[in-house]
Amino acid sequence: MNFKDLAKKTLHNNKNTDLTLLEKSYKFSEKSYQEQTHHSGTSLLQHTLDSALILADLQLDDKSIAACLLHHTLPLGISKETLKKEFGEEITHLLEGLAKINRLKILPSQEEYNSADLRKVLLTAIKDIRILFIKLCIKLNNMRTLHTLQDEEQKIHISREVLTIYAPLAYRLGIGSIKSELEDLAFKYTNPEEYKKILELIEKTQPDREHRIYEVKKKIEHTLQERGIKASVSARAKHFYSIYKKTTDRNYNLNNIKDFIGLRIITLTPEECYTALGIVHTLWKPLPETFKDYIAMPKPNGYQSLHTVVIGPQEKPIEFQIRTQEMHEIAEDGVAVHYDYKGITHGGEFDKKLSWLKQFVETREKMSEKEFQDIIKIDLFSDTIFVFTPKGKVIELPTSATALDFAYAIHSELGDKAMGATINGKYSSLKTEIKNGDIIEIVSSKNQQPNMEWLKIVKTYKASSKIKQYLTRHGKIVATGISTTKEEPKKKLEENFIFIEGLKEPELKLAVCCKPLPGEKIVGFKTGENRVSIHKEHCETILKLRKDSRKEVKSHWTEHSNTDVELLVEGNDRVGFLAEILNTVASQGINVSNTKAKVLDTHKARCTFGILIKDTQTLLKLIERIKKIKDVTNVYLGELKKIKP
């Protein structure tokens, strides 16, 4: 691809494209970047051009595309004054915003985003959403060339960053095309084994699948034509990451997922979408509980479509998505569809699509850093459900919301007086987790009032803040916040069993490329300040890492025999959770000296128990078995006490 390709694409999308500005930006970049290269080995100029082409597909304005071409100028030392003189205030503002976003990183040891940095990103984006569009396109181009990086650990780290921050942001902006590709590219590096399994299964079933899709497509096209409906029908491959998420979020067995391709019907009008749905259900039997009407109830990012799954040829499921062309454009390009080439359009559809971001930034200043970390995972990066009042009013909430969250979503006074809820005609407690499509009526009492336990029940920021306000007003908590007992930080299991020469209490990570086990010869490599990645001595990745001998550190497994060990197991609370853990321990012939369980909040629990192990291998084998128990999320090591002979 070259500059002529970019010019053609932007002119195709906007006949009033300022080609003089784009050419000037391109030539200025060419002069500024000189011989600089991208990690892929291509020139830095080609990297910026490829990113600008992705941005042009979103039909962004000339200044956004110019800023994309120039996005390496500030980092390379070109002054803001020079950029303002050459390209004006607006483009320089975009470049400064991109520079701020580039400082956003997740912490490798915790696999979390820095909340302060993320707040800055959102505050920057709300001032000019184009900055976020540009960054997402640059990130996608970087991910497309990630395979050229030599450092395997860096590939994994960058991919986790994408899954943690950028793919969710693309989803909230409704940019389905970028969100899905980012997820698939990142998934390939964060979970290569599962990626390979899905790839092999898809390739194995491809001939049979293509035949069935052809048969179904031909039949639906013929029937739609007979009914006088002008529509296009196309097959769409399901994304690898979405298939993987079904196996984790919904406990699907990969081998039981019958199909990896669906069909998409694009009609002219919303009315024809429903007619097409009726035809599909007439031709093939629909599967219960698979129908989703996102036309009547759009997702918060603006996504609209009808979803259904039917039993097709050979008694195998076929998924359909039915939408209009306009809905399809919004699904692929998100709020960019509502962007005006003369500038950001305020009011109307564009502001409506960005309301989630504005509301979040407005409430952010009232949160502590801890609240921000907890709330953002639910209010920004989680999916949403739609529930109803008895009168049919639609209420949008995050997937983990409870009946008490619903009460506060209706009105704060109703939340304060809530005693319980009638969900689909059945009485339920306030802590009941609600589901998509539920009809909910809150049962209240004038004698009811919020209490401290409610803070453990609610998941939304609105409900949490209203409860705290009430408790503060009535003297039940101090205005500065709720005092909590600070827990001692837990150590990862590996930190107690691996010795690192020359480093004090380093942060350790077992390399996913070779998965070293106790007893095997290992080598450590520094991945940051006091952070070490542990590999098998003959791991193939070592050959690349050993080019920089300064990062290599001597490491070896330590041995523990006849040791009292305290294990801490955390997971999702459910009936029988502790019993299943203890049964697993007993099955290994290990005695338990003491046990205690603690509910951390409405859905989380921690089980602590002491055991006597004869050697390290026995302990590691037990830990691996415990990790496979349903709902277990973390296994930590407590105290080690050597037993005297």
Instruction: Dump the DSSP string for 10-21.
Output: HHHH-TT--HHH
Q: Are 310 and 286 in contact (CB under 8 A)?
A: yes
Identity of residue 348? G
Asked whether 511 and 539 are in contact (CB, 8 A), the reply is yes
Burial degree of 630 (CB within 10 A; 0-12, 13-18, 19+): exposed
pLDDT over 90 at 592, yes or no? no
- Reduced to 3 states (helix: H, G, I; strand: E, B; else coil), residue 604 is strand
Q: 431: which residues sit within 8 A by CB, 6+ positions away?
A: 402, 403, 404, 457, 602
**pLDDT tier, 585 (very low <50, low <70, confident <90, very high otherwise):** confident
Q: Which residues face 637 on adjacent strands?
A: 491, 567
Of 384, 360, 401, which Cα lies nearest the Cα of 118? Answer: 360
pLDDT at site 583 = 79
369 pLDDT band (50/70/90 cuts)? low
pTM of the model as a whole: 0.58
Q: What are the start-end ranges of the H helices in 128-175?
A: 130-144, 152-161, 167-172
pLDDT of 488 reads: 40
Dist CA 180 CA 136 (whole Å)? 12
Give the β-pairing of 292-293 and 261-267: unpaired
Q: Which long-range contacts (CB under 8 A, 24 or more apart) does 513-516 make?
A: 513/152, 513/539, 513/540, 513/541, 514/539, 514/540, 514/541
Q: What is the CATH number of domain 383-473?
A: 3.10.20.30
The residue that leads in pLDDT, 637 or 408, is 408
pLDDT at 106: 54
Q: Is the pLDDT of residue 263 over 90?
A: yes
Residue 600 contacts by C-beta under 8 Å, 6 or more apart in sequence? 570, 606
Token duo for residue 102: 């580039």
What is the predicted pLDDT for the residue at 345? 43
pLDDT one-digit tens code per residue, 498-534: 788 877 777 777 777 777 766 678 888 888 777 888 8
Highest mean pLDDT among 248-262, 385-399, 406-420, 468-482: 406-420
**How far apart are alpha carbons 262 and 246 in whole angstroms?**
15
Beta-strand pair 531-536/552-557: unpaired
Q: What element of type H or E holds 31?
A: helix 19-33
Beta strand residue intervals within 70-151, DSSP E: 106-107, 112-113
Could you tell me which residues are beta bridge partners of residue 635?
569
**Higher-pLDDT residue of 264, 615:** 264
| Both structure tokens of 309 | 């799954």
Q: Are strands 563-572 and 592-599 parallel, antiparallel or unpaired?
A: unpaired
Is residue 612 within 8 A of residue 562, CB to CB? The reply is yes
Which residue would you say has higher pLDDT here, 304 or 357? 304
CA 545 to the chain's CA centroid: 30
| Model pLDDT, residue 111 | 45
- Going by pLDDT thresholds of 50, 70 and 90, the confidence category of residue 383 is low
How many residues in the chain? 645
Do the domains 563-642 and 3-190 match in fold?
Answer: no
Res 491: pLDDT: 47
Range 563-642 classified under CATH 3.90.1200.10: no
* CA Rg value for the chain: 28
Using pLDDT thresholds of 50, 70 and 90, give the confidence band for residue 366. low
Say which CATH architecture domain 3-190 belongs to: Orthogonal Bundle (1.10)
3-state DSSP assignment of residue 328: helix
Reported as a pLDDT band with limits 50, 70 and 90, residue 71 is very high
Task: Write out 233-290 in H/E/C secondary structure.
Answer: EEEEECCHHHHHHHHHHCCCCHHHCCCCEEEEEEECCHHHHHHHHHHHHHHCEECCCC
Position 105 confidence tier, pLDDT thresholds 50, 70, 90? low
Show contacts of 358-366: CB within 8 Å, 24+ apart: 358/126, 360/122, 361/122, 361/123, 361/126, 363/461, 363/465, 364/119, 364/122, 364/123, 366/465
pLDDT above 90 covers a percentage of the chain that reads 29
- Taking the CB of residue 316, how many other CB atoms lie within 10 A of it? 13
At the top level of CATH, the class of 192-334 is alpha beta
- Closest Cα partner for 459 from 413, 420, 404? 404
The rounded mean pLDDT for the chain is 79
Tell me the pLDDT tens digit for each residue of 548-579: 666 788 888 776 566 677 788 888 887 777 77
**pLDDT of 494 over the 60 cut:** no
Tokens encoding 269: 């009008």
Where exactly are the structural domains of the chain?
A: 3-190, 192-334, 383-473, 493-557, 563-642
Question: Which band of pLDDT confidence, cut at 50, 70 and 90, is reported for residue 359?
Answer: low
3-state SS assignment for residue 491? strand
**Which residue has better confidence, 543 or 21?**
21
- Are the C-beta atoms of 410 and 418 separated by less than 8 Å? no
pLDDT at 615 over 90: no
Rounded to 5°, the CA angle 553-559-560 comes to 140
**Terminus-to-terminus CA distance in the chain, angstroms?**
73
Per-residue pLDDT tens over the stretch 116-162: 556 556 666 666 778 888 999 999 999 999 999 888 888 998 998 88
Residue 377 has pLDDT above 80, yes or no: no
